[in-house]
Amino acid sequence: MTDITLKTPENTFLPGARRRHRKPRQSGTRTGLRRAVVLAMAVPVASAAVAGPSAFAAQKRVGTTTKTHDLDTDDQHMAKNLETRVLDQRLGPNVSDVVLNAASNTTVWGHNASTALMPASNAKLATSTAALTVLGPQHRFTTKVVYGHGTLTLVGGGDRTLTTADLAELAKTAIAGLKAAGRTAVKVTVDDSLFPQPTLAKGWNDGYYPDTVAPVRALVVDGHGVQDTSIDAGQVFAKQLAANGIMVTGDVTHATARPTDVPVAQHKSAPLSDIVHTMLKHSDNNIAETLLRMTALGAGRPATFEGGTEVVRRVLSRVYGVSLGNFELYDGSGLSRADRIPATTLAQILELLTQPRYAHTLGSILDGLPVSGEAGSTLGPEYGRFDDADSKCAVGKVHAKTGTLTGAIALSGLTQGKDGKWKVFAFVENGATADPNAIKDAMDDLVATVNGCYA
């Protein structure tokens, strides 16, 4: 089990100053989180879905519309508007929605909130939570070069952010060692044995490879979308060697590094917190799938779809008390058309971000959520988000994860309501027949309603 690092990251957006009344699954200490993760991995997976529900589930309010007399005037008005606007024909009839008040620990409004639908990339919220909890926000992935029997082997360590510049530095260090030993020629191999042979998740199809998501390997450079990212990375490495006076003999091939091979160079990635931030801003499927496997390994499970999703379930339910009724997850990115997550569960995951005791571990999720109108993110103007007459008032006021598949659109996040209190929302639709841009506009309108600017 990888130790958990709990250094508090810089966090400029922290809603919900009040502590939840959720029964804690662990203490706020490093030892407490680690103990909780160990316990989570020790219990049978079948029991994970029914383990300690969250405070919202315990109130039996999530999934049903809160009685209006329980709400203040602003929330009553918001709930009334949502009840009307969720019937927008652009959204279709198959929706799962919920809004929580982060300050009062109540559900403001729900519409089929416990109905499990395809979450699309909102599934990345679950993957990120598990990765940061198991590995720790300061975890770094290591790519190595080892030497033996006239061969340099590039060993993948699950760094999906490795660049050509990083390989150039590895090559520079390796070349210095080769020249010091009087060697001017070498063979190059790649070792990506950290992950099993790439496979398709349940609910994927061959058409996803390699553009939507590349076969998941432990070695890749510059995020290249090719069938064999490991050989591709090895070829880039070999070119760096050749450009600096080392003859590379033969083709780059797969191999497994020997225990007797000598380490000659290594590169460490940016901290996991930075990688999660990037993954969420751009909804990067490849990073998500790599993190799923590294999380599985960190928890002592096989680096497979099954091993990773098992860990995600146990972390959510056993460590954080998130309810997993009707929850089905088969990958890390949300590409699987077999994935099913209710709005209730998405909101409970996001609600963790409003609790100061989790800021040190999960803060990069909060910081990584795209902001409405933020250029370069999936909520930017280039995607046509928050740009219609009713939603443009919410530009800069919404922090949310997008999700888009054929037949599934989701938007879940946080915004500050008209009353100044932070609201957690999750909106998911499946099967709407309107133009996808029109569906997104209707969903943005719902979020602007939660914000209160579309009154």
163-198 pLDDT, tens per residue? 999 999 999 999 999 999 999 999 999 999 999 999
Q: Which two tokens stand for residue 298?
A: 């960190």
pLDDT of 65 over the 80 cut: no
Instruction: Say whether both 298 and 425 belong to one domain.
Output: yes
Does residue 16 fall inside a structural domain? no
pLDDT of 450 over the 50 cut: yes
The pLDDT of residue 332 = 98
Instruction: Say whether both 412 and 296 belong to one domain.
Output: yes
Instruction: Say whether both 114 and 176 belong to one domain.
Output: no
The pLDDT of residue 52 = 35
In this prediction, residues 135-156 reach a mean pLDDT of: 98
Among the listed ranges 28-32, 173-177, 392-396, 419-423, which one has the minimum average pLDDT value?
28-32
The pLDDT of residue 281 = 97
Does residue 37 fall inside a structural domain? yes
Does residue 285 fall inside a structural domain? yes
What is the rounded distance in angstroms from the CA atom of residue 181 to the CA atom of residue 178? 5
Does residue 336 fall inside a structural domain? yes
- How does pLDDT run across 390-402, given as a tens digit for each residue? 999 999 999 999 9
pTM of the predicted structure, to 2 decimals: 0.88
The pLDDT of residue 36 = 58
The pLDDT of residue 25 = 45
CA Rg, the chain, in Å? 23
Please say which residue of 236, 251, 269 terminates a domain.
269
The pLDDT of residue 68 = 57
Q: Is the sign of the CA dihedral 2, 28, 128, 278 positive or negative?
A: negative
Among the listed ranges 128-132, 140-144, 210-214, 230-234, which one has the minimum average pLDDT value?
210-214
Count of beta carbons in the 10 Å neighbourhood of residue 400: 27
Tell me what the pLDDT averaged over the chain comes to.
88
If phi over 0 gives left and psi between -120 and 50 gives alpha, with beta otherwise, what is residue 250? left
The pLDDT of residue 33 = 55
The pLDDT of residue 205 = 86
- Read off the CATH number of the domain in which 50 is found: 3.40.710.10
Q: Which parts of 86-206 fold into alpha helices (H)?
A: 124-135, 164-180
pLDDT of 438 over the 50 cut: yes
In this prediction, residues 2-15 reach a mean pLDDT of: 33
The pLDDT of residue 444 = 98
If phi over 0 gives left and psi between -120 and 50 gives alpha, with beta otherwise, what is residue 61? alpha
pLDDT of 40 over the 70 cut: no
Instruction: Say whether both 97 and 207 belong to one domain.
Output: no
The pLDDT of residue 37 = 59
The pLDDT of residue 45 = 36
In this prediction, residues 94-119 reach a mean pLDDT of: 96
User: Quick one: pLDDT band at residue 70, thresholds 50, 70, 90?
Assistant: confident
The pLDDT of residue 399 = 98
pLDDT of 22 over the 80 cut: no
Please say which residue of 269, 288, 315 terminates a domain.
269
pLDDT of 67 over the 80 cut: no
pLDDT of 379 over the 90 cut: yes
The pLDDT of residue 103 = 87
Q: Which two tokens stand for residue 76?
A: 């009553």
- How does pLDDT run across 244-268, given as a tens digit for each residue? 999 999 999 999 999 999 999 999 9
Give how far Cα 301 sits from Cα of 1, 298, 306, Å.
10, 7, 9
The pLDDT of residue 289 = 98
Instruction: Say whether both 305 and 421 belong to one domain.
Output: yes
Instruction: Say whether both 296 and 410 belong to one domain.
Output: yes
Instruction: Say whether both 317 and 442 belong to one domain.
Output: yes
Does residue 17 fall inside a structural domain? no
Instruction: Say whether both 83 and 177 belong to one domain.
Output: no
- How does pLDDT run across 295-335, given as a tens digit for each residue? 999 999 999 999 999 999 999 999 999 999 999 999 999 99
What is the rounded distance in angstroms from the CA atom of residue 182 to the CA atom of residue 176? 10
Does residue 73 fall inside a structural domain? yes
Please say which residue of 216, 249, 269 terminates a domain.
269
Q: Are 300 and 41 in contact (CB under 8 A)?
A: yes
Percent of the chain with pLDDT over 90: 81
Q: Which two tokens stand for residue 121?
A: 């990339």
Does residue 7 fall inside a structural domain? no
Residue range of the domain that includes 116: 30-137+274-451
Chain centre to alpha carbon of residue 357: 20
Instruction: Say whether both 256 and 288 belong to one domain.
Output: no
pLDDT greater at residue 57 or residue 179: 179
The pLDDT of residue 207 = 87
The pLDDT of residue 71 = 86
Instruction: Say whether both 150 and 186 belong to one domain.
Output: yes
Chain centre to alpha carbon of residue 71: 33
Instruction: Say whether both 151 and 89 belong to one domain.
Output: no
- How does pLDDT run across 323-334, given as a tens digit for each residue? 999 999 999 999
pLDDT greater at residue 202 or residue 45: 202
What one-letter code names the amino acid at 372? Answer: S
The pLDDT of residue 32 = 52
Does residue 353 fall inside a structural domain? yes
The pLDDT of residue 38 = 53
Instruction: Say whether both 248 and 323 belong to one domain.
Output: no
User: Quick one: pLDDT band at residue 413, thresholds 50, 70, 90?
Assistant: very high
- Read off the CATH number of the domain in which 174 is found: 3.50.80.20
N-terminal to C-terminal alpha carbon distance within the chain: 49
Query: What is the residue-wise DSSP string for 245-311?
Result: TPEEPS--EE----TTPEEEEEEE-S-HHHHHHHHHHHT-HHHHHHHHHHHHHHTTS-SSHHHHHHH
User: Quick one: pLDDT band at residue 28, thresholds 50, 70, 90?
Assistant: very low
Our count of domains for the chain comes to 2
Chain centre to alpha carbon of residue 147: 35
